[in-house]
């Protein structure tokens, strides 16, 4: 596959598996899994054609490991980033002392007064290292990195999760 095709298919999969499965008439189970055969069939019917090999290629080459294949090889889900409700069945974890959130400098005043909000997603994304937070923040403009006192929040009852892909 060409790099442009890989990127396009990755974006399509993110859209369908994180946000709008019903755009192609797909149903995810409560844990966010879709049948690969059904995904391929319904995507084709909706005008996006790819085969199992293409799909696995996108999954394997995803630097951020955005998608997870089930152990039996029959199903796929997005590792994180959803705007629809999914229950990953993941246990809440004890976070490190601090975690980082990269954002655009223009959002900082609002964040400091309202708090960090997940916005259109279901969870706020935090990074274990500053370099990753910097990259995430840069997507929105001139980046600022916020240091989140994760352990202190944990002791106050806030819940932290680690997605399949390390986010």
In the complex, the residues that contact ligand HQG under the rule CB under 6 A are 64, 66, 81, 103-104, 107, 110-111, 114-117, 119-121, 125, 136, 139-140, 167
Please give the DSSP secondary-structure letter assigned to residue 27.
Answer: -
Cβ-based nearer residue to ligand HQG, 72 or 113: 113
DSSP 99-119: EEEEEEGGGHHHHHHH----T
Nearer to ligand HQG, 110 or 159 (CB): 110
> In sequence order, what are the beta bridge partners of 76?
34, 69
Please enumerate in sequence order all residues whose Cβ is within 8 A of that of 33, keeping only pairs 6 or more positions apart, or say none: 70, 75, 76, 77
**SS3 assignment, position 75:** strand
Cβ-closest residue to ligand HQG? 103
Q: How far is the CB of 94 from ligand HQG (least distance, A)?
A: 21
Instruction: Determine the Cα–Cα distance for residues 14 and 126; give it in Å rounded to an integer.
Output: 19
Closer to ligand HQG by CB, 92 or 110: give it: 110
CB of 165 vs ligand HQG, minimal distance in Å: 8
For residue 36, count CB atoms less than 10 angstroms from its CB and return exposed for 0-12, middle for 13-18, buried for 19 or more: middle
Structure tokens at 95: 């976070």
Give least dist CB 128 to ligand HQG, A: 12
Q: How far is the CB of 84 from ligand HQG (least distance, A)?
A: 14
- Residue nearer to ligand HQG on the CB measure, 125 or 154: 125
Q: How far is the CB of 143 from ligand HQG (least distance, A)?
A: 9
- 41 or 57, CB closer to ligand HQG? 57
């Amino acid at each position: 596959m060409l790099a442009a095709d890989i990127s396009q298919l990755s974006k399509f999969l993110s859209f369908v598996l994180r946000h709008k499965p019903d755009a192609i008439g797909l149903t995810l189970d409560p844990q966010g899994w879709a049948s690969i055969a059904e995904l391929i069939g319904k995507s084709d019917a909706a005008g996006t054609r790819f085969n199992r090999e293409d799909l696995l290629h996108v999954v394997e080459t995803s630097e951020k490991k955005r998608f997870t294949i089930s152990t039996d090889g029959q199903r796929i889900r997005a590792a994180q980033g959803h705007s629809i409700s999914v229950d990953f069945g993941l246990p809440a974890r004890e976070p490190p002392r601090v975690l980082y959130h990269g954002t655009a400098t223009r959002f900082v005043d609002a964040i400091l007064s309202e708090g960090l909000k997940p916005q259109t997603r279901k969870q706020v994304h935090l990074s274990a290292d500053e370099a990753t937070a910097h990259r995430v923040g840069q997507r929105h403009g001139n980046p600022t990195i916020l240091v989140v006192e994760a352990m202190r929040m944990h002791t106050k009852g806030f819940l932290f999760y680690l997605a399949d892909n390390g986010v």
